[in-house]
Chains A and B, each alone.
Chain A
Amino acid sequence: MTKKIPKKFWTSVFINCPFDEEYKLLLRPMLFTLVSVRLLPRLASERSDSLEQRIEKILRLINECKYSIHDLSRLKSERANEFSRLNMPFELGIEYGCRRIAKNHLRTKRSLILEKKRYDIQKALSDLNGVDIKCHNNKPTQTVQALQHWLIETVGLNDVESPSVIWDKFNEFDYQFYERRKAQGYSKRDLQIMPVQQYIRFIKQWVASKR
């Protein structure tokens, strides 16, 4: 008997990215863009069960998401004695293996690889030569652009708004998010460190109110 594919699989997007404060600048517009086209962002940080092994969590996410976004922009260390981050390429490797070896619905998986500067990945990870990679130059606006193009080219969505409109709406959302949370007693710091699941819930509410 074949196992039933969960409905959520077809709209889920696994985001494989750094989780530091600095990356939130790119992550938040990315989450907004995905939610605004009715996709469901999934991240390793969405749940923090202390007894769950991180790698098990990643495997489950890869298994449950048709789409994935891999940001390899931290491959290069910026300062002396700084280690480059290897979690993202490792998880991309699992995703690639899963897609190639699977004989079921996992073969239909689709991915987006992001880098900071063009050709950076080729220098660090030459196995990926010939693969289509988009770069964001560490800029939130360019992240939205890259993502919007991928949603049209690869996900196959026809009704995606232009990057300018998405960016404009994100700015509007952020203002209302900031004002409403402030009225509820949240400090600026609370908003910065807010759990990603809560942030996604607020985006969903806002997007639903605008439809």
Chain B
Amino acid sequence: MSVKYHVIAWLNGTWRVRRSGAKRATSVHYKRTEAIEKARKLAKKDLTGGTVVIHGVDGTVKSSTTYGKRSLPSA
């Protein structure tokens, strides 16, 4: 199962990237676009493939994109 990175609108007006199941945010941003960019980078970097879940200011899911598994270079 791929790792999920949620982009969430926070109570103080900031945007956070949080890995599914983690208690703390991975990063905090003032702009939504910056948070999405960060989440995408993390998802693409993930060896098992990552999913970016973008939430709206109302908490509902606006989109969900899965990035493919990275193939390891052969030895």
Interface residues of A (CB under 8 A from B): 24-26, 28-29, 139-142, 144-145, 163-164, 167-168, 170-172, 174-175, 178-179
Contact = CB atoms under 8 A, between A and B. Distances in A.
Nearest to B53: A175
A174 B59 contact: yes
A28 B18 contact: no
A175 B11 contact: no
B20 A25 contact: no
A168 B8 contact: yes
Nearest to A162: B11
Contacts of B64: 175, 178-179
B4 interface: yes
B37 to A, nearest CB: 19
A191 to B, nearest CB: 9
A28 B60 contact: yes
Contact of A139 (B53, B57, B61): B57
Contacts of A179: 64
A141 B6 contact: no
A28 B58 contact: yes
Interface of B: 4, 6, 8-11, 18, 20, 53, 55, 57-61, 64
* Residue with the greatest number of chain B CB neighbours at <10 A, chosen from A164, A167, A171, A174: A171
A178 B59 CA distance: 12
Contacts of A175: 4, 6, 53, 55, 61, 64
Nearest to A164: B11
Contacts of B8: 167-168, 171
A62 B4 CA distance: 42
Nearest to B22: A168
Contact of B58 (A29, A145, A172, A178): A29
8 contacts: A28-B58, A141-B9, A141-B57, A167-B11, A168-B18, A174-B55, A175-B53, A178-B61
A167 B57 contact: no
A28 B59 contact: yes
B11 A172 contact: no
Contacts of A163: 11
Contacts of B57: 25, 139-141
Contacts of B60: 25, 28, 174, 178
A175 to B, nearest CB: 5
B59 A167 contact: yes
A174 B10 CA distance: 15
Contact of B59 (A140, A142, A145, A164): A140
Given A28-B60, A178-B61, A179-B64, A171 B11 contact: no
